[in-house]
A and B are shown apart, each in its own frame.
Chain A
């Protein structure tokens, strides 16, 4: 199941909106430059390897994220980013929100923070790459 991730490049898809998404997308900028590790952000579900779940999603958002997960090609992984998603969030019902995903999807990595710094996101991804 586990391929050699270090040699291939990873494509990330970030559905939804929110402060976590904003901070994740700043890693594309010149200062953090996540692309030097071979990591790209994509719009199309079929191209993606990693799905990122954030807390700012209504029931329709949860449905869409699950839809994207089904359309993704194997091997595929899921990250949960931010306090809202991990289970302290107040806006979207705390742990209930994560349980909606956990019924169907196995989550591989949790990145805490409200919102997590760009460095934290890069650290999480690099650690995931080194472990697999």
Chain B
């Protein structure tokens, strides 16, 4: 064989291999696409369909029905609320049967409106939510709010909790035993009556958490507001900032750089680990496992050190910006982080061995505070508490909101839904977070970390923005309205409030000594309970 034909053969071979690689890549992509679409119903089509049906049935009574981000906004007056709610429940084509959150949206000091109330409503097979904004009648805000709540409570069981909480006349008489605690419960009181150490009636009062002035955001720019958003979930401060920045970016249709996306994922996983380790230390403190508590706190402090090096602050980072993040991460920090990961895994595994494999703890926590799948769906619970009760729902898989689609991780879930399941799911989530951090550190691309835009000349018509992220307590949502440069309303829907609303039904019938254990196992963050005061 001559040299020429030999080289020709080699050339043919190279082309053939290239073709093979190309087809193989395409195959992978096709399979991935099918998998992603087959995993859950595509949200955009459902959103379109629901918007059209709402226009058809309720177009006359609502003043506007528009898309906001991946959700829908519907604005109604207080007078027409009752027929709208009956239509929501009775009409099989709409079937919005789950109330996830309630908030008074606040009001800017310059606006003439009497105030509003915003409800976050979803259905059982819908991945997005409908924000129902109810404009209040002129007059006393508190009385109008109580009237709306009593209407909502007729169709949604979850609203009954808020009704007992808001209305001054509906306050339950605590009777024989009252139980107010200073340290331990953050932002709420529990009042209950007992009979032979078994709880009869429970009343949860979140009025201590109603602290925010209703116009606190009025003369702030959007940039300045980011620093305050971390306080809405101070146990894991990054998520409030993340959800706010993400919502505004969606409104401005801003695509952030890929490195910024990766840094955001890294930070959110680090803060998820911090929150879960705090949770484990709380639980082991209640059950008197001092070694586990100390080990968990030490591990938490180590992670806080790295977040402090990156962001400059310990718990409330003020690190996110609209269009990216504040500062870049050096390569030496990433290398150090990658070196620490196996050791971190080992140490957390050791804590798990101390706690979960001890039969005393297992006996103490099984069949206590059990949340069934139905109950969880009815009260709109999300996050690890939902996953412990048997449904595999994670916003990171579902929505694919940062670059979580590029990474490999599983969503751990349990079956029983009792305290032990909730504890062990936290451990499993920490391991998944370690796995994600390892992938992020090895895959992180080079490039800019922020897309700089000038927000000084922002001039928008009245437009709403909404977004949601998977924070360590559950699914955190935000809703707001912008006009020009100033915010008109802002509502943060924390997942802790819906898990607290369930706590009342869990506590009834359980014994007095389990109160702290059940409430600590639900992982309630005080920052998410914060509400506007009028």
Report if A and B associate in a common complex.
yes
Q: Is the CB of B294 within 8 A of A30?
A: yes
**Cβ of B59 to closest chain A Cβ, rounded Å:** 39
User: How many residues on B have C-beta within 8 angstroms of the other chain's C-beta atoms?
Assistant: 32
Q: Report A14-47 CB contacts with B as 1/0, cut-off 8 Å.
A: 1111110111011001110000000001010100
A14 to B182, CA, bound (A): 7
Contact of B301 among A16, A31, A45, A57 (CB under 8 A): A31
**Cβ of A95 to closest chain B Cβ, rounded Å:** 13
Tell me if B208 counts as interface (CB < 8 A to partner A): yes
A23 to B294, CA, bound (A): 16
Chain A residues closer than 8 Å to B316, beta-carbon distance: 19, 114-115
Contact of A19 among B182, B209, B281, B315 (CB under 8 A): B315
Q: Is the CB of A91 within 8 A of B183?
A: no
**Cβ of A92 to closest chain B Cβ, rounded Å:** 5
Q: Is the CB of A18 within 8 A of B301?
A: no
Given A16-B208, A43-B181; A91-B216 close (CB under 8 Å): yes
Dominant secondary structure at the B interface: mixed
Chain A residues closer than 8 Å to B182, beta-carbon distance: 13-15, 43, 45, 68
Q: Report B68-104 CB contacts with A as 1/0, cut-off 8 Å.
A: 0000000000000000000000000000000000000
Q: Is the CB of A56 within 8 A of B211?
A: yes
**Cβ of A118 to closest chain B Cβ, rounded Å:** 8
Chain A residues closer than 8 Å to B186, beta-carbon distance: 17-18, 21
Q: Is the CB of B234 within 8 A of A19?
A: yes
**Cβ of B283 to closest chain A Cβ, rounded Å:** 15
Chain B residues closer than 8 Å to A18, beta-carbon distance: 186, 234, 526-527
Q: Is the CB of B207 within 8 A of A30?
A: no
Which of A18, A41, A68 neighbours the largest number of chain B CB atoms within 10 Å of its CB? A18
Chain A residues closer than 8 Å to B321, beta-carbon distance: none
Contact of B208 among A17, A29, A91 (CB under 8 A): A17
Tell me if A66 counts as interface (CB < 8 A to partner B): no
**Cβ of B296 to closest chain A Cβ, rounded Å:** 9
A29 to B299, CA, bound (A): 11
**Cβ of B259 to closest chain A Cβ, rounded Å:** 29
Interface residue range, chain A: 20 to 34
Chain A residues closer than 8 Å to B234, beta-carbon distance: 18-19, 22
Q: Is the CB of B533 within 8 A of A22?
A: no
Given A30-B298, A115-B315; A90-B228 close (CB under 8 Å): yes
Q: Report B212-251 CB contacts with A as 1/0, cut-off 8 Å.
A: 1100100010000000100100110100000000000000
Chain B residues closer than 8 Å to A41, beta-carbon distance: 183
Chain B residues closer than 8 Å to A115, beta-carbon distance: 314-316
A6 to B315, CA, bound (A): 32
**Cβ of B398 to closest chain A Cβ, rounded Å:** 30
Tell me if A58 counts as interface (CB < 8 A to partner B): yes
Dominant secondary structure at the A interface: loop
Chain B residues closer than 8 Å to A17, beta-carbon distance: 186-187, 208-209, 526
A31 nearest in chain B by CB position: B301
Chain B residues closer than 8 Å to A15, beta-carbon distance: 182
Chain B residues closer than 8 Å to A13, beta-carbon distance: 182-183
Given A29-B297, A30-B297; A92-B213 close (CB under 8 Å): yes
Interface residues of B in 284-314 (CB under 8 A from A): 294, 297-298, 301, 314
A12 to B523, CA, bound (A): 25
Tell me if B210 counts as interface (CB < 8 A to partner A): yes
Interface residues of B in 195-216 (CB under 8 A from A): 207-213, 216
Chain A residues closer than 8 Å to B181, beta-carbon distance: 43
Chain A residues closer than 8 Å to B527, beta-carbon distance: 18-19
**Cβ of A68 to closest chain B Cβ, rounded Å:** 8
Q: Is the CB of B235 within 8 A of A61?
A: no
Q: Is the CB of B297 within 8 A of A26?
A: yes
Chain A residues closer than 8 Å to B231, beta-carbon distance: 19, 91
A23 to B301, CA, bound (A): 12
Q: Is the CB of B298 within 8 A of A61?
A: no
Interface residues of A in 76-97 (CB under 8 A from B): 90-93
Q: Is the CB of B294 within 8 A of A29?
A: yes
Chain A residues closer than 8 Å to B212, beta-carbon distance: 91-92
**Cβ of B516 to closest chain A Cβ, rounded Å:** 12
**Cβ of A11 to closest chain B Cβ, rounded Å:** 12
A13 to B184, CA, bound (A): 12
A74 to B282, CA, bound (A): 32
Q: Is the CB of A60 within 8 A of B208?
A: yes
A64 nearest in chain B by CB position: B208
Contact of A58 among B183, B294, B301, B533 (CB under 8 A): B533
**Cβ of B108 to closest chain A Cβ, rounded Å:** 14
**Cβ of A122 to closest chain B Cβ, rounded Å:** 14
Interface residues of A in 45-76 (CB under 8 A from B): 45, 56-61, 64, 68
Chain B residues closer than 8 Å to A117, beta-carbon distance: 314
Given A19-B315, A19-B316; A14-B301 close (CB under 8 Å): no
Chain A residues closer than 8 Å to B183, beta-carbon distance: 13-14, 25, 41, 43
Q: Is the CB of B216 within 8 A of A90?
A: yes
Chain A residues closer than 8 Å to B315, beta-carbon distance: 19, 22-23, 115
Q: Is the CB of A61 within 8 A of B301?
A: no
- Complex A-B: 8 CB contacts under 8 Å: A14-B182, A19-B316, A29-B281, A57-B208, A91-B212, A91-B213, A91-B228, A93-B213
Q: Which 10 A-B pairs have the closest CB atoms?
A: A17-B186, A19-B234, A17-B526, A29-B297, A30-B294, A17-B187, A58-B211, A31-B301, A91-B212, A43-B183
Known: A30-B294, A115-B315. 14 other contacts (CB 8 A): A17-B526, A19-B234, A19-B316, A29-B297, A29-B298, A29-B301, A43-B183, A58-B207, A58-B208, A58-B211, A59-B533, A61-B208, A64-B208, A91-B231
